[in-house]
Chains A and B, each alone.
Chain A
Amino acid sequence: MSLFLRLLFRNKLAGFGAVVLGVIVLLALLTPILPLHLPNETNTANRFLRPMSEGHLLGTDHLGRDLLSRLMWGTRLSLAVGFAAALVAGLLGAAIGVMAGYFGGRTDNVTMRGVDMLMAFPYILLALAIVAVLGPGLLNALIAVAVVNIPFFARNIRGVTVGIAHREFIDAAKLAGMGHTRILLTEVVPNIVPVVVIAMSTTIGWMILETAGLSFLGLGSQPPQADLGSMLGEARSALITAPHTSIVPGVMILLIVMSVNLLGDGIRDALDPRLRSGALARPMATTRVERAEAPAPKGEGLLRIDDLETQFHVGSRIYKAVNKVSLDLKPGECLGLIGESGSGKSVTALSVMGLVASPPGVITGGAVRLEGRDLIGAPYEVLRSLRGRKVAYIFQDPLSTLHPLYHIGDQLIEAIRVHEHVTHAQAHERAVKLLEDVRIPNAGARAKAYPHELSGGMRQRVGIAMALANDPDIIIADEPTTALDVTVQAQILALLSDLRRDRGLAILFITHDFGVVGQLCDRVAVMYGGRIVEAGDTAEVLAAPAHPYTKRLIACVPELGGGRRELAAIPGLPPAVDDLPAGCAFAPRCDKAQTACRADEIDLTGDTHKVRCLYPEGAS
């Protein structure tokens, strides 16, 4: 509860709303004892006095009545009616919703049909119909506004109740022999009270507005009694000659409704866990860069990543997802990047083209050089023109990575046309050709399919075709086969292997599966806790893994036809990268770890076969 209040008041606007509303409510409560004129005391000699007149702070209206006094009494009335309407609608709506949700079946069906019918009316229209029957009057307006809002509450509360009615503690209560009434009162109602309160706090502004509206039309409070709405309605005829008589009550309605809305929003936001964690932040077009200086290039290569550091800044926490990673890729080469989930391999790959979601991602150091040109901190337009043209990506789950509402053909055409000035017809022809290249049968017709109409393997072929669209030099494949079943996986790997040979593509292949690396990659780098722990030629690493982690990863791959053998899982979990231990990150899970492993940072040593370990495998 104190956390809730703290969150609520950290939101400045909600705090402002609470203060304004508090002052207004307090003044409304104190109105009878404040030294004011009588609200209905007419004095036609003093009609339409301007504000700041003697004895009348806000002036007078068309009958010479004191506006300040009428404003306070009107506010009092409007607030009371608004709160009452919210209370009535909330209670009745909640009662209906609880009944429907708890009993379910036919009760539920019939009630909810009725609610749907009521919701089929435009909102105010129904209120008008009810006032038409009951006749003008403030109480009738209150009833109308309350009735119109009942369906909203009933539907919300029903949803919540259905969720509760099937929980274990309700079953337990039934088994204990409790009657429906008792279960409803002791088990269900306490759980829905917060929901009702929130729904009321967000709709109360509406109710005040609506009752004021009906009064404005002359269907609510009747003279001489006045709420804010009828004050406005009466002032309308003198709008041009004495505008202050309209402005005073109008501004008051605005203030009340705005402060209620601000407070309601604040309450809702404070209760929304997604806002609390910042999970609703949008990623920008390129990853944020906060880099002091680019390190000197360590060598040549088509793509060189030098000492790359990518972090996630969430609140005051810093997650070092990529920690001084260096990789290089030569033309036509396939480099495997392997590690468990959370090891930083995907973040490394996304950092290349500035695609790490930011916020929270920040590139804090290192360089990514494509043909010698540093891309970290490069202007957006430079990165954009390289994306897809020089460096293309294939992502993991093509159902979520392809746009669900565009034909796959159009998505391919777009990929072509962002980088080349060709006509739509030419692009279409090439798109179909690309689909044929990735061995999609009946490509011309398939171009008109939506992603959800294709199988997983077909979708991934589309993803590959899209990466090939502009004949890139490099393809970064981020676990392209993980979401697929084994036979499809083999087909996709064979396809990638062929394409690489035919087109001279360099591939950075990210996976957690050493079996896949063995099939496709010339070299492999192993990542753990945001660092490279071992790198070398695939055959060499597979034959003689030097890092204990690599050895364990290789032992995880089942061998087809290799007979029955125990698969060695690695105990424990990968480290949290916001709180890395000193020394080797793998030490807590390593059965060979010594004290020295936990002391200082360990360097990546070796010539072609590099390893970051004090006691590498095979060495004695």
Chain B
Amino acid sequence: MGGYILKRLLSAIPVLLGITVIVFLIMAMIPGDPATAILGSYATPENVERLNRHLGLDEPLWRQYFIWLGNLVQGDFGRSFALNRPVLDEILDRFSATLVLAGTAFVLCSLLGIVAGVVSAARQYGLADKAITFVVILGISVPSFFLGMMMILFFAVQLRWFPVSGMYSIWGGGDLPDLIRHLTMPALALSVVATGVIARLSRGAMLEVLRQDFVRTARAKGVHERRVIWGHALRAAMVGIIPVLGIQAGFVLSGAVYIEMVFQWPGVGRMLVDGILKRDILLVQGGVVFIAACYVGFNIIVDVAQAWLDPRIKT
């Protein structure tokens, strides 16, 4: 197992390098002069040239990349000109909020999706299956930002169950119950699409597994049907479900952008959108690399979980 983890960690290095190359190339395609963008159109040519030299922009592209990469590795993501602070500080400040939101949504969609999928498969063509299938179709078709707005309208404005937006109350908030009250709606809204996708896939995986011989063996042993479904069959189906969880984690992480906008959640997603609108390139660049790297890391965890779950993967 240890060897497998190490191997998987090493294999992430080229992927991470590839990500930095892609992001760097995309950003390098920006038309116009970054220094002009920062200093504004009234800047003197001397100032523009000085800033260019300061930022290393007079170097050839490949050297710029390596300088940038070297800085990244040392934790220097550059400085946001709009916020006038180091990009990494800003990312780290906001990332915890995104992590709380996306993490909760991910746990929700995994649990709800798998449970719904298993129930749906166990009651194939029954009432529960039809109801779940209907909800799943709605779930994967609704834009999360629209769902979030409707939730605000209904649960926050009409019923007053939850606060309209934000992460903590401005007065007297800050504790865990306060966070949970603020978190419930955005986490649910963010998890809905992924829940639908996972439920649908889990149902398919379960139907495949339930036809296999070892399920019949378990029944022939006299194992309770509940345990046949939730133990034997689900355990085997997880081998097919886990990779989908990994993919959906990416959707949840990046889908947080919309939800953070709707619910005024102080996360990285809103930072990125603000950065794009203000043309704060270094901030966007750093944020994208940071989130993509997190996603790569998460996928390693998924692969390790997969290997732990399926002893036949031992390479």
Contact = CB atoms under 8 A, between A and B. Distances in A.
Interface of A: 13, 113-114, 116-118, 120-126, 128-133, 135-136, 205, 209, 212-213, 216-219, 229, 232, 236, 239-240, 243, 246-247, 250, 253-254, 257-258, 261-262, 265, 280-283, 285, 350, 353, 355, 357, 380, 384-389, 392-393, 395, 397, 400-406, 414-415, 418-419, 450, 452, 466, 469-470
B146 A418 contact: no
Nearest to A281: B124
A132 B137 contact: no
Nearest to A353: B220
B19 A418 contact: no
Nearest to A147: B26
Contact of B26 (A113, A133, A236): A133
21 contacts: A113-B18, A117-B15, A122-B251, A125-B272, A125-B291, A125-B292, A129-B26, A129-B285, A132-B284, A205-B141, A216-B261, A232-B149, A239-B152, A240-B164, A246-B146, A250-B146, A254-B138, A282-B207, A283-B215, A285-B225, A403-B217
Listed from nearest, the 10 A-B pairs whose CB atoms lie closest are: A258-B141, A250-B146, A117-B18, A122-B254, A124-B254, A388-B222, A387-B222, A122-B250, A393-B220, A282-B210
Contacts of B121: 282
A50 B89 CA distance: 46
Contacts of A406: 232, 235
Interface stretch (B48-56, B171-179, B181-189, B273-281): B273-281
Given A123-B250, A125-B288, A132-B275, A258 B150 contact: no
Nearest to A392: B220
B276 A128 contact: yes
Contacts of A212: 143
B214 interface: yes
A418 B223 contact: yes
A405 B121 CA distance: 21
A148 B149 CA distance: 26
Interface stretch (B64-72, B78-86, B107-115, B307-315): B307-315
Contact of A389 (B210, B222, B285): B222
Given A120-B19, A213-B143, A213-B145, A239 B153 contact: yes
A492 to B, nearest CB: 17
A216 B145 CA distance: 8
Contact of A452 (B211, B212, B275, B312): B312
Interface string B110-131: 0000000000011010000000
A129 B23 contact: yes
A133 B210 contact: no
Chain A contact residues, majority secondary structure: helix
A283 B277 CA distance: 55
Interface in B291-315: 291-292, 295-296, 299, 309-312
Contact of B122 (A218, A254, A282, A357): A282
B163 interface: no
Nearest to A385: B222
Nearest to B146: A250
Nearest to A403: B214
A524 B212 CA distance: 30
A400 B213 contact: yes
Nearest to B121: A282
A253 B309 contact: no
Chain B contact residues, majority secondary structure: helix
B214 A401 contact: yes
A404 B143 contact: no
Contacts of B295: 120-122
B213 to A, nearest CB: 4
A405 B236 contact: yes
Given A122-B292, A136-B276, A388-B222, A253 B143 contact: yes
B153 A258 contact: no
Contacts of A261: 137, 140-141
Nearest to B295: A122
Contacts, number: 231
B7 interface: no
Given A401-B213, A452-B312, A257 B207 contact: no
A415 B210 CA distance: 19
A129 B284 CA distance: 7
A13 B207 contact: no
Given A282-B122, A388-B221, A121 B292 contact: yes
Contact of A282 (B143, B211, B292): B211
Nearest to B298: A122
Given A120-B15, A122-B291, A253-B143, A405 B224 contact: no
A124 B311 CA distance: 34
Nearest to A282: B210
A128 B137 CA distance: 27
Given A280-B211, A406-B232, 11 more contacts: A117-B18, A123-B250, A123-B251, A125-B254, A129-B285, A239-B153, A246-B150, A257-B141, A283-B211, A283-B215, A415-B221
B180 interface: no
A132 B281 contact: yes
Nearest to A387: B222
A65 to B, nearest CB: 20
A126 to B, nearest CB: 8
B311 A217 contact: no
B150 A219 contact: no
A418 B142 CA distance: 45
A254 B225 CA distance: 38
B22 A118 contact: yes
A216 B284 CA distance: 19
Contacts of A402: 214, 217
Contact of A283 (B146, B210, B284): B210
Contacts of A128: 254, 257, 272-273, 276, 284, 288
B138 A217 contact: no
Contacts of B138: 254, 258
B253 interface: yes
Nearest to A205: B141
B193 to A, nearest CB: 9
Nearest to A400: B213
Nearest to B18: A117
Contacts of A285: 219, 225, 228
Contacts of A389: 222
B302 to A, nearest CB: 13
Given A213-B143, A239-B153, A466-B221, A218 B277 contact: yes
A387 B273 contact: no
Contacts of A236: 149, 262
Contacts of A470: 222
A253 B309 CA distance: 40
Contacts of B160: none
Contact of A405 (B23, B261, B276, B309): B309
B168 interface: no
A217 B260 CA distance: 11
Contacts of A117: 15, 18-19, 21-22
A135 B19 CA distance: 21
B66 to A, nearest CB: 18
A212 B141 CA distance: 13
B1 interface: no
Contacts of A452: 311-312
B265 interface: no
A388 B27 CA distance: 66
B267 interface: no
B297 to A, nearest CB: 11
B159 interface: no
A247 B150 contact: yes
Given A217-B257, A246-B149, A283-B210, A419 B124 contact: no
Contacts of B299: 120
B213 A386 contact: no
B69 to A, nearest CB: 15
A210 to B, nearest CB: 9
Contact of A250 (B27, B143, B228, B236): B143
A353 B222 CA distance: 10
B242 interface: no
